[in-house]
Amino acid sequence: MSDVSFTDFAYQAIEQAEQKRMHLMYIVIGCLLASLPGLGINAYFYMVESHSKGGLSSGSLELIAFLAMICLVLLAIGLQKFVLFRDLGNKLSQIELLEQTIYNEVILPKNVE
């Protein structure tokens, strides 16, 4: 039988939440770095194709629209993960504040005596 206390379990849960927060940060950065330049490139190609002599061919317009949809999906995923990242950061800061309060009110007076 392992000798794991509730406090150890709580600290493990907090460490896992911090690791998940870092993982979410990498997902957000990856999605935004892929989607924003992709949308810019798609807009550029659309402008080039629409102002060319032949006009827009159906194949090039479909390809530009398909790539734009992929970039928009990546952008939506990145924004959703950013909201989760921000909420998790707020919860972790509340836990840290609670931990500091408990230390100041409960543990610190015991050490003084």
| pLDDT single digits (tens) 62-83 | 888 888 899 999 999 999 999 9
- pLDDT of residue 41 exceeding 50, the answer is yes
d(CA 11, CA 16) in angstroms, rounded, equals 9
d(CA 106, CA 87) in angstroms, rounded, equals 28
DSSP 54: T
Single pTM value for the model: 0.73
